[in-house]
Amino acid sequence: MADITEVDYIWKNGELVPWAEATTHVLSHSLHYGSGVFEGIRCYKVPDEDKSFVFRLRDHMERLHRSCKIAQIELPYSVDELMDATLEVIHANKLPACYIRPLVYRGYGVMGVDPTGAPVDVVIAVWPWDAYLGADALENGVAVGISSWRQRSNNAIPPAVKATASYMNSILAKMEAKAHGYAEAIMLNEAGLVCEGTGENLFIARNGVLSTPPLSDGLLEGITRDTVLCLADDLEIPAVEESLTRSDLYIADEVFMTGSAAELTPVGSVDGRVVGKPGEITRALQDRFFDLVYGRIDEYADWLTEV
């Protein structure tokens, strides 16, 4: 995990605002009650070329709209307007590669659990951000542990909404994992089935078959997760969505986590049980993923928005 690197501008409510002036009131509703939704997106610079692409920008902004619908937040900008704003703030900050954080939140004006009447603020921030789980995580993998904290159930906080409030148990799980010497935590759902990491979806490979928990087990509908399932099909790797137990993680041949920040990060051990170095399936999917985001696969050109 790295500190944020400040840049020049943040897009807020339709205009570019100097970084230090992109502030909000301490009595904003979302600060007190977690009534905000967000996205995480990456912009990749093509190596040795003066060209950059935002990966699946439309899909992310469409998911942001879905999150707002579930949370009953009136988002005053269309998907196309948010896409244009993203490119505008990247250009303004002269960033060939960056992490992108759109955030929709209820601002200052009312207090109490009922948000009726609170204004809606929309921001898009960008900054440089390399490997989410450490410099060598993509190459050598990370150690993870099963958290004592459970993931929220489908009828508690809907997993389909990427809400700021959803991440309280992720925070607790992450801090617990770090205290035990792990880079990341894996959370089970209330039924005791494998759900997801604190900010990632999860895959295992065993006997040549790729498995990932189904959305019905309470996980976020990850865009990188969907990408990996498509890439597995390209590579003729059998892939299934099925419920997993913690024992499935212990005896897996390969384990990896996916997400916009984590990209495709291998897992080297689970609760001290060694998985080992990234295997053949993980490496093949990693290679194809980075070929995709760098614009080397023509069939996925629609997933890339050139900056």
pLDDT in tens, 190-221: 999 999 999 999 999 999 999 999 999 999 99
pLDDT confidence of residue 140? 86
9-127: CATH topology? D-amino Acid Aminotransferase; Chain A, domain 1 (3.30.470)
178 carries an active-site annotation:
no
Q: What is the pLDDT of residues 26-69, one digit of tens each?
A: 999 999 999 999 999 999 999 999 999 999 999 999 999 999 99
Residue found by looking up tokens 């290679």 in the block: 287
- By the 8 A CB rule, do 219 and 173 touch? no
- All residues at 6 or more sequence positions from 154 whose CB lies less than 8 Å from its CB, including other chains: 216, 218
Residues of the chain with confidence (pLDDT) below 50: none
pLDDT confidence of residue 135? 65
pLDDT confidence of residue 53? 98
Nearest to 248 by CA among 212, 286, 285: 212
The span from the CA of 280 to the CA of 65, in Å, is 37
pLDDT confidence of residue 153? 84
CATH 3.30.470.10 occupies which residues in the chain?
9-127
- By the 8 A CB rule, do 66 and 60 touch? no
The catalytically annotated residue of 51, 94, 162, 178 is 162
pLDDT confidence of residue 3? 80
pTM: 0.95
User: Please, what is the angle between helix 280-293 and helix 223-234, to 10°?
Assistant: 110
Kindly report the length of the chain: 307
pLDDT confidence of residue 136? 83
CATH 3.20.10.10 occupies which residues in the chain?
137-293
Residue found by looking up tokens 């896409």 in the block: 83
Residue found by looking up tokens 């309280």 in the block: 168
Rama region for 291: left / alpha / beta (φ>0; ψ in -120 to 50; rest) = alpha
Across-strand partners of 188?
Answer: 194
Hey, what CATH class is 137-293 in?
alpha beta
**How many other C-beta atoms lie within 10 A of the C-beta of residue 136?**
10
pLDDT confidence of residue 209? 98
pLDDT confidence of residue 245? 98
SS3 sequence of the chain: CCCCCCCCEEEECCEEEEHHHCCCCCCCHHHHHCCEEECCEEEEECCCCCCEEEECHHHHHHHHHHHHHHHCCCCCCCHHHHHHHHHHHHHHHCCCCEEEEEEEEECCCCCCCCCCCCCEEEEEEEECCCCCCCCCHHHHCEEEEECCCCCCCCCCCCCCCCEHHHHHHHHHHHHHHHHCCCCEEEEECCCCCEEEECCCEEEEEECCEEEECCHHHCCCCCHHHHHHHHHHHHCCCCEEECCCCHHHHHCCCEEEEEECCCEEEEEEEECCEECCCCCHHHHHHHHHHHHHHCCCCHHHHHHEEEC
pLDDT confidence of residue 2? 65
pLDDT confidence of residue 129? 87
